């Protein structure tokens, strides 16, 4: 199949398709998180799988979901962004439908989970690339932060919406989610026009200098480390917080965390885009270091305040990493976002492996607070190792005016280090 034809390179698209895509992102995450957070319960309590088996299944599924973004990007390059999203939604719809016969058959349920994970891997790079296609660099922070808010709103509402059905009527839950995904897929087919895969040409025209080898190494590396330290909080807060507070308080913390992401990230998107990468790393990792240290104090106040600080770190780092990845690459946005998903998968996998051993040792010694101190120290040390890479990585990315160096892949705006804004790619990324 050839690439999609659409509005033409550089052409502006109406706001309607983007608004639908944001609404679809909310519904997709709402449906997914009505199911996925409860998978360990369903696999263990209903289907009788051992906890070790459940952990292995969920770890592999998560790795597929993240690292498969590279495959999703390649598919988007071949058949187009909209077509890739349609394939992904068809796969996820089939996966959720397969849970219905899988409610009494463990092998079928595991297969259904992997189908859902494969669909997620294919969908997200094309989704983000479609969202920024045709957008100029000033629009990208707003669009990506709005996308993050849509996803996080679904994350916040999905689990409580599904809680009454998980154990009592799981068939009703999976049937409802299947219908939801089918409707969203139909909307993608009917309401989204095709757009070019690569978007508009970078500023400077077709004869602009090619991207340098290794241009995306730094955002990839920072994304690995950002997700690595964040997933300690994601994976192990429940084990730490529930015995020291309550399950209901933990649920309130998760809900408040998601609401902060929805509200604060769009409000801070322009400020984050204006930060140099070095300063963004300082702010983001600094907030995560403070948050994990405060979490270690325990109690309602410590855990609540720690979660808020970690939320700030996530807001800054995750958005900035995507913006920098786009700014430093001449590849199509779908390829860039696929690489970013792979980086996130590596970070999440490493955090799961290392964190399990670290938390187990801390718990065995009765020093769970020391676990959070160890994570906080990693948040402080790792950026110190990365900032020199940032300085060297930015050395060649200057605008033509002023220093005589060729423009980087960010086009005429460049990506500045030190005092200016770190700008997104002029078009195709």
Domains of the chain: 15-191 (1.20.1250.20), 217-391 (1.20.1250.20)
Backbone angles phi, psi at 425, to 5 degrees: -65, 145
* % pLDDT > 90, the chain: 35
Whole-angstrom distance, CA of residue 119 vs CA of residue 137? 29
Judge whether residue 368 has pLDDT over 50.
yes
pLDDT digits (tens, 9 = 90+) for 127-156: 989 988 888 888 889 888 888 888 888 887
Using one digit for the tens of pLDDT, what is the confidence trace for 80-129? 999 999 999 999 999 999 999 988 899 999 999 999 999 999 998 899 89
Q: Kindly report whether the global pTM for this prediction surpasses the value 0.95.
A: no
What distance in Å separates the CA atoms of residue 31 and residue 168, rounded to the nearest whole number? 18
pLDDT of residue 211: 43
| Encoded tokens for 276 | 């140099």
pLDDT above 50: residue 339: yes
Beta bridge partners of 422: 415
State the first-to-last Cα distance of the chain, in angstroms, to the nearest integer.
23
Poorest-confidence range of 143-147, 257-261, 349-353, 417-421? 417-421
**CA–CA separation, 262 vs 150, rounded Å?**
7
């Amino acid at each position: 199949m050839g690439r999609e034809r659409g509005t033409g390179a550089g052409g502006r698209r109406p706001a309607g398709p983007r608004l639908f895509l944001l609404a679809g992102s909310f519904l997709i995450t709402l449906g997914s998180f009505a199911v996925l957070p409860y998978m360990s319960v369903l696999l263990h309590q209903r289907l009788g799988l051992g906890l070790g088996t459940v952990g292995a299944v969920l770890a592999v599924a998560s790795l597929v979901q993240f690292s498969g973004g590279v495959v999703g990007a390649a598919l988007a390059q071949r058949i187009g962004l909209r077509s890739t999203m349609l394939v992904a939604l068809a796969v996820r719809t089939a996966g959720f439908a397969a849970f219905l016969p899988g409610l009494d058959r463990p092998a079928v349920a595991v297969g259904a989970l992997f189908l859902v994970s494969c669909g997620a891997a294919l969908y997200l790079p094309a989704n983000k690339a479609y969202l920024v296609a045709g957008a100029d660099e000033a629009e990208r922070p707003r669009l990506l932060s709005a996308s993050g808010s849509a996803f996080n709103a679904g994350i916040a509402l999905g689990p409580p919406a599904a809680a009454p059905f998980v154990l009592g009527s799981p068939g009703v839950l999976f049937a409802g989610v299947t219908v939801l995904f089918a409707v969203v897929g139909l909307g993608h087919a009917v309401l989204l026009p095709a757009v070019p895969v690569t978007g508009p040409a970078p500023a400077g025209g077709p004869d602009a200098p090619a991207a340098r080898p290794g241009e995306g190494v730094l955002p990839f590396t920072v994304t690995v480390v950002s997700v690595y330290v964040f997933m300690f909080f994601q994976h192990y807060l429940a084990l730490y917080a529930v015995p020291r507070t309550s399950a209901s308080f933990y649920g309130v913390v998760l809900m408040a965390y998601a609401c902060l992401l929805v509200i604060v990230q769009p409000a801070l998107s322009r400020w984050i885009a204006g930060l140099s990468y070095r300063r963004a790393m300082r702010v983001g990792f600094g907030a995560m270091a403070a948050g994990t240290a405060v979490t270690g104090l325990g109690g309602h106040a410590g855990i609540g305040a720690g979660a808020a600080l970690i939320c700030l770190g996530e807001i800054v780092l995750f958005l900035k990493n995507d913006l920098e990845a786009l700014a430093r690459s001449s590849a199509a946005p779908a390829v860039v976002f696929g690489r970013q998903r792979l980086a996130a998968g590596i970070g999440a996998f490493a955090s799961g492996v290392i964190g399990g051993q670290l938390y187990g040792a801390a718990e065995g010694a009765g020093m769970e607070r020391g676990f959070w101190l160890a994570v906080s120290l990693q948040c402080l040390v790792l950026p110190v190792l990365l900032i020199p890479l940032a300085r060297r990585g930015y050395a060649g990315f200057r605008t033509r005016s002023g220093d005589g160096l060729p423009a980087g892949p960010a086009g005429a705006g460049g990506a500045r280090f030190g005092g200016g804004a770190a700008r997104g790619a002029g078009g195709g990324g």
